[in-house]
Amino acid sequence: MKEPSDPVDLFLCAGLDRDNIRQLAFETGFCKRAPRKIHAPDFLTQLCLQSAAGTVSYNDLAARMEAYAGVAASRQAYWERTDESCARFFQSVLEHVMLSKCNPGRIASISRRVRFRRILLQDSTIIKLPLRLFAAFSGVKNAHGAVCNARVQGIYDLLSGQFVQFSIDPYSKNDQAAALEIPVQDGDLILRDRGYFRMSAMEYHKRVGADSISRYKHPTALYDPATGEKINLLELLTRVGVVDMLVGTGPEQTVPIRLIAHPVPEETANVRRMRAKKEMNCPPSRELLKLMSWTIFFTTVTDPSIAFKEILALYGLRWRIENIFKTWKSYFNFEKIHDVPEIQLHVLLKARLIMITMAYERLFLPLSQRLKTPISLMKFMRYLTQNVSYIPKLFKSAAPPPELCRAVQRYCAYDKRRRPNFVIGMDAILLKTAGCG
How far apart (Å, rounded) are the C-alpha atoms in residues 209 and 244? 22
Q: Average pLDDT in the 34-46 region? A: 86
Above 70 in pLDDT, residue 4? no
406-424 pLDDT, tens digit each: 888 888 887 765 555 555 5
Above 50 in pLDDT, residue 107? no
Identify the burial level of 83 via C-beta atoms within 10 angstroms of its C-beta, where 0-12 means exposed, 13-18 middle and 19 or more buried: middle
Please give the C-alpha separations between residue 40 and each of 16, 18, 196, 427, in angstroms, as whole numbers. 12, 9, 38, 42
293-335 pLDDT, tens digit each: 999 999 998 888 888 988 888 888 887 777 777 776 666 666 6
Give the 3-state DSSP-derived string for 184-228, with helices as H, strands as E and coil as C. Answer: CCCCEEEECCHHHCCHHHHHHHHHCCCEEEEECCCCCCCECCCCC
Above 70 in pLDDT, residue 102? no
Phi-psi region of 321 (alpha: psi -120 to 50; beta: other; left: phi over 0): alpha
**Confidence (pLDDT) at 84:** 92
134-183 pLDDT, tens digit each: 888 888 877 777 888 888 888 888 887 778 888 888 998 999 888 888 88
Q: What percent of the chain has pLDDT over 90?
A: 19
How far apart (Å, rounded) are the C-alpha atoms in residues 58 and 302? 55
- The domain limits of the chain are 194-317
Coil vs helix vs strand at 253: coil
Q: Which of the pair, 94 or 7, is modelled with greater confidence?
A: 94
**Spatial contact of 52 and 391, defined as CB atoms under 8 Å apart:** yes
What's the gap between Cα 287 and its chain centre?
Answer: 33
Coil vs helix vs strand at 52: helix
Q: How confident is the model at residue 255 (pLDDT cuts 50, 70, 90)?
A: confident
**Confidence (pLDDT) at 101:** 53
**Spatial contact of 131 and 146, defined as CB atoms under 8 Å apart:** yes
